[in-house]
Structure 1
């Protein structure tokens, strides 16, 4: 592996992924999710190569931009955390749900973290490749630096979901509340507790998305009798966002 070269990536690199990945169910934390998306942004979507190389430094600097100017001991701690996030992806299963079936797919099959070099080697599973390569339709793209600014996994997932609808030119749509909670992995914690879900997840996420990203999101609560069972979302390009 020492002769392999890794490309230098930056925050303007693009995440290209199937809409099915955006809608898939999983329990990734915020930093695990950022690691997941960063690795997807490194894929050569035209050549469909399952193997990618990247440097430890580029991943650490993406996950922890505050690392600049820190001492050696602090930096080592961040590198260890980044390594653990990559290892966690070995255990992650993406659950794709349709009316007909549930399909579970592993994300990656092999990880090599060199002890005395700056390179990391990762193999994606064959089953995940159609969801990140050679897609002709039903996919979404965005700059990897956009989600770096978002501080929660819920807000990151809602951002992606809204970008997906923006790509489809579907600026207004209605979500079943229970299905939306399930996609976010919040159905058990907030079952029959809309007010808590609204305050802890929806309001916080939409506020953060509107303040920090390239889209503007709003939503309305829809009732069936006394119960709120749907959410109407509206998304558009932000007029206030200035790329940095």
Structure 2
């Protein structure tokens, strides 16, 4: 990726974060400020080289945090202390297929020398598989989008959804969601977590990010068990970001285009990871003789606003879907599954509007 010149929205590569999907899925306890410093450093990596000792001007950190300018040295010491203590917890599988849990330190060193005006830091070499030499199963996003987000939970949800942007949805158990965001001991009532974490992130992404989401809570009885996110392109904000990128290019007087390899890497990155998919959903962009599965119910839900999804009970959704599917299958006995799904989607919309 070292020769990549243009990536997400045509931005220069040093304005784009590239992370392995295993790292996106990892659990961590980084604060908003620590996450911002980390992504600023990741974007500046030359991703086919060794980890260098990187310098981050303290004024850049002050710009993205609440550092008191009168006590920069003390604040810089605190930043260094916190960065070298931070870890990420990654769940994956060994070559033998066994579940594996590994904790990594993010940084091997962090230094601030009074009067120099910069923090010097270096990533731990164990982070190499997740940040360097990325060929597949990685995710790209703009640094500027990440820095717009205020809540640490919004940034984590944003990364998870960017990983699945090519598939337009993400489904996970409430237990897994809590684990990934470090919420096992917080907001014990789901309604509280929904209000303080999910709804806050939904509002932030809609206002500030290139994607936003709607969601549906899957329940067993009255207990929330899973959450289904539907990922949408945020066209208004995307246009703002494109204008920012264009202004940056004009100020730098650069006109370099993407190479074919860069475009391919971007497609692979946004395609997601086959381990993230539901069993019936192939990876977009993967080599296959079949296209991705088309789900009429999911397409119907993707078309609804959050208010409409919230007003729709599980039993009502199942009733509309079953009625539409049965009618479509009866009217089109020889149609292939994708055609049936699209027709089911259309009929569900009609039944919803006529209810």
Instruction: Give the TM-score taking structure 1 as reference length.
Output: 0.84
- In structure 1, the partner of 2:181 is 184
Give the corresponding residue for 1:228. Answer: 224
Q: What are the superposed Cα offsets for residues 62-83 of structure 1, whole Å, 9 maximum, x if unpaired?
A: 435xx8xxxxxx4233564354
Whole-angstrom CA distance in 1 between matches of 2:13 and 2:65: 11
Q: Where does 1:142-221 land on structure 2 (aligned, <5 Å)?
A: 142-166=141-165, 169-191=166-188, 193-221=189-217
Residues in 2 aligned to 1:213 and 1:84: alpha-carbon distance in whole angstroms: 30
State the distance in 2 between where 1:201 and 1:210 align. Answer: 14
Secondary structure of the residue that 1:101 maps to in structure 2? strand
Matching of residue 21 in structure 1 with residue 19 in structure 2: no
Equivalent of residue 88 in structure 1, options 78, 82, 88? 82
What is aligned with 2:314? none
Q: Does 1:54 align with 2:56?
A: yes
Check whether the contact 2:216–2:228 (CA below 8 A) recurs between aligned residues. Answer: yes
Q: Note the aligned Cα RMSD (angstroms).
A: 2.2
> Secondary structure of 1:190's partner?
coil
* Residues 1:19 and 1:86: Cα distance change in structure 2 (over 3 Å): farther
CA distance in 2, matches of 1:149, 1:108: 24
> How many Å apart are 1:157 and its aligned residue?
0.5
Measure how far apart 1:145 and its partner are. 1.2
Partner of 1:7: none
Please tell me whether the aligned partners of residues 55 and 119 of structure 1 are also in contact (alpha carbons under 8 angstroms). Answer: yes
Distance apart, 1:12 and its partner CA: 7.2
Unaligned runs of 5+ in 2: 1-11, 94-98, 245-355
Counterpart-to-counterpart distance in 2, 1:78 and 1:156: 26
**Counterpart Cα distance in 1 of 2:38 and 2:115:** 24
Q: Please say which of residues 225-234 and 35-44 is displaced more in the overlay.
A: 35-44
1:7-35 alpha-carbon deviations (Å, 9 max, x no partner): xxx99711111112221111122112212
Q: Higher mean Cα deviation, 110-119 or 129-138?
A: 110-119
For 1:174 and 1:147, the matched residues in 2 are separated by 22
SS of aligned partner of 1:231: strand
Q: What's the counterpart of residue 91 of structure 2?
A: 97
The structure whose RCO (Cα within 8 Å, separation 6+) is larger is 1
1:55, distance to aligned residue in structure 2 (A): 2.2
**Matched residues in 1 for 2:205 and 2:72: separation?**
26
Task: Choose which of 12, 33, 42 in structure 1 pairs with 2:35.
Answer: 33
Q: Displacement, 1:61?
A: 2.5
Task: Give the 3-state SS of the residue equivalent to 2:110 in structure 1.
Answer: strand
Distance 1:180-1:109 versus aligned 2 partners, 3 A rule: same
Segments of 5+ residues of structure 1 without an aligned counterpart are 1-9, 68-73
Count residues with an aligned counterpart: 224
Range moving further from structure 2, 223-232 or 132-141: 223-232
**1:97 CA displacement:** 1.8
After TM superposition, the score normalised by the length of structure 2 is 0.59
Question: Quick check: 2:14–2:45 contact (8 Å CA) kept in 1?
Answer: no
Say which one has the larger Rg. 2
Q: Could you tell me how far 1:122 is from its partner in structure 2? A: 1.3
